[in-house]
Amino acid sequence: MKFLDQVKIYIKAGNGGDGSPSFRREKFIEYGGPDGGDGGDGGSVILKAEQNLNTLIDYRYQQHHKAKRGVNGSGQNRTGKNGDNLILKVPLGTQVFEEDNKTLVYDFIKVGEEFVAATGGKGGLGNTRFKSSTNRAPRKFTKGKTGEEFTIWLQLKTIADIGIIGLPNAGKSSLLAAITNANPKIANYQFTTLNPNLGVANYDNKEITIADIPGLVEGAHKGTGLGIQFLKHIERCKSLLHMIDITNKDLKKSYKQIKNELKNYSSKLSKKKELIVLNKSDLVDKKEIKKIIEDFSKNTKSEIVTISVLEKKSISQIKAKLISYAS
């Protein structure tokens, strides 16, 4: 499935149906009174958050969305049928912005949430509504109101308990595949992950959602590499899992590089609760690992653990650890 996290669409609610100017016409009734019914209300455009969606790609190919018009009223005081509402499904975490793409209108943070983005027009009044003691045969009726129409932006910000961050090729996708039901692309070269991947991990009857963010490079907060378009996907995460390749020659530099990108993008992001995971421990001697941790711990107050995604024991340990970081 292709990934798209921002799209511009046009929405139009249905117009209300017109009221009817009908008069009663029956045999042996010479002067039938007014019997025009009201028009039906136009359908509204409603956005609804869905759990099983994770992309806005459908809206790239269909950008105009219109709800049904209300049916006109008719004789015998028959009211026109209301136009059907148009339900547009969006992923959980979608934000709705006005046409300027800056003014936030609504933020979907719960499954099943609904937001009326454009309200349908009210139906017009039939001539029966204007009958009075002084006007027994009114010809007056009203037309239906025009439904609202807007151009809006939809932006998706992934909602997950844990966000996995780190330099390209640190093993983030391999970890996600090992501890969750996700099936990300994995290979030994930079930028294998081109889109955020979501997975759900189960441990001790508890469930946590984990997001793997494309590898960050220097200047990512300015848009370098895959850049700023993916940093927003970890803004909602409760905690961050900072993965570093333990075979990297300069762990401190790798760590500071990512922390600087987070800080430059958002000060709140850099202050999130963090678990540092040194990956590929199977490639380093145990004594050397101890020295690396002792040296590295001088630069951070965050908890540090070592794992190998190829070892089942490591996977079980990291799952148990992540439960506490997801709460």
Residues 236 and 295 in one domain: yes
Of 33-42, 54-63, 224-233, 291-300, the least confident: 224-233
Of 129, 156, 183, the domain-final residue: 156
* pLDDT of amino acid 209: 85
Q: Residue 162 in contact with residue 237, Cβ under 8 Å?
A: yes
Mean pLDDT of 94-105: 95
* pLDDT of amino acid 219: 47
Exposed, middle or buried: residue 147 (CB in 10 Å: 0-12, 13-18, 19+)? Answer: buried
pLDDT band with cut points at 50, 70 and 90 for residue 2: low
pLDDT band with cut points at 50, 70 and 90 for residue 310: confident
pTM (predicted TM-score)? 0.77
* pLDDT of amino acid 154: 96
- E strands within the chain? 6-12, 45-50, 64-66, 86-91, 94-97, 104-107, 114-118, 149-156, 162-165, 197-203, 206-212, 239-245, 273-279, 303-306
Give, as one character, the DSSP assignment of residue 157.
Answer: -
Res. 19: pLDDT tops 90: yes
Domain of 103 in residue numbering reads as: 1-156
* pLDDT of amino acid 16: 98
Which tokens hold the place of 116?
């009326």
Which is nearest to 319 in space by CA: 210, 246, 158?
210
Of 156, 172, 197, the domain-final residue: 156
Calculate the average pLDDT of the chain.
85
Sign of the CA dihedral with 282 first, then 283, 285, and 286 last: negative
Where residue 268 sits, what CATH number does that domain have?
3.40.50.300
Residues 266 and 226 in one domain: yes
Of 102, 121, 156, the domain-final residue: 156
